[in-house]
Each structure stands twice: as structure tokens, then as C-alpha cells.
Structure 1
Amino acid sequence: MDKKEIIAYIKEKIIYENLELSEWGHELSDIKDDTSLISDDGLALDSVDLLDIFVAVQQKYGIELGNITKEMMEEHCRTPLTLAELVINNLGGN
């Protein structure tokens, strides 16, 4: 599984579909690799949404992220790209 596939899955399935962003007026095409998930100029997701993302990532990729903290979510849930890098690092791949 390469980085592009991981990013595409995270954007479409984990972020867009799982969080039902279409109901909030977002299109899948609104979510770029570098779209901010947290800031108001991006998707402005809250901590519950970020926790949902972390759980979905762990389930999909079979990785254990341990105790999920607010700081961890803010660091790794900045963009779809930072989430993909988290997955790759925990899978031991490049």
C-alpha cells in the first residue's frame, strides 16, 4: 500500500464518508492532501470528529496508537497527509 492510496482512502472513506461531510455542504473535491482538518479555514473539525478519525484509522490499518491525547490528535490530524504519514510510520513502511 503506497502513500497515495492511503491518503485517498483517508480523504474519501475516513474523513468524507465516515464524518458525513456532504451533510455539512462539503464535496469530496474540497478535501486536498493539505486541507486543514482543524482550522476554521479548512474543515474545522472538532475533537470528537478527530477521535472518530483516529479510531477509524486504527481499525482500517490494524495499528495501535495507544493512549490518544488532544496533543496527539492536533499533531497528527492537521491534514490528510499528516494522517497518512502517521499510518505509514506505524506500519513501518515508506
Structure 2
Amino acid sequence: MRISVSDAKAQLTELVRRAEAGEEVVLTRHGHAVARLAPIKAAVDPAARRRLLEHLRAAAAPTLGPAAARSQDVLYGGDGLPE
């Protein structure tokens, strides 16, 4: 939605509500966009962010063992050379 700054003065509460709901509200002056109303995203709790990063690192850790050692055996023939 585009609205002039002068018209927005009378509708500020409604425009803020629409921006909070996710609608893009662009304020214009003489037909040119000058500002945008957008919701502020909640800050992530540092402890929750750390837990998430630790979880992702653990999930991405390489798997060692028999399956990992033979995972590319299909690429090689019986003589050990690439097919």
C-alpha cells in the first residue's frame, strides 16, 4: 500500500496495525517513496541461539564408521580403479 505522508497523519494507528500484520506500507511525498512501515522482529534470546547452533553443529558432524568408509564404493570397480 502506498499513501502520502499528509494522508497517513490521520490514519497512523490503522497503518501501524496493517504493517504489524505484514502488509507493506510505503509513505510517499510528492509521489516519491520516502519511508516504509515494517514490523520489528523480536530479538532472539542469546541462550536459545547458542542452543540452536550447538544442535545444528552436532547434527552436521560427520559420521564415522563402516558406512562412511564404504559410502563411495559404488564408484570403483573390483580392481579399485574408478569406473
Q: TM-score, normalised by structure 1?
A: 0.21
Whose strand fraction is larger, Structure 1's or Structure 2's? 2
Highest Rg: 1 or 2? Answer: 2
User: If the length of structure 2 is used for normalisation, what is the TM-score?
Assistant: 0.24
Structure with a larger share of its residues in helix = 1
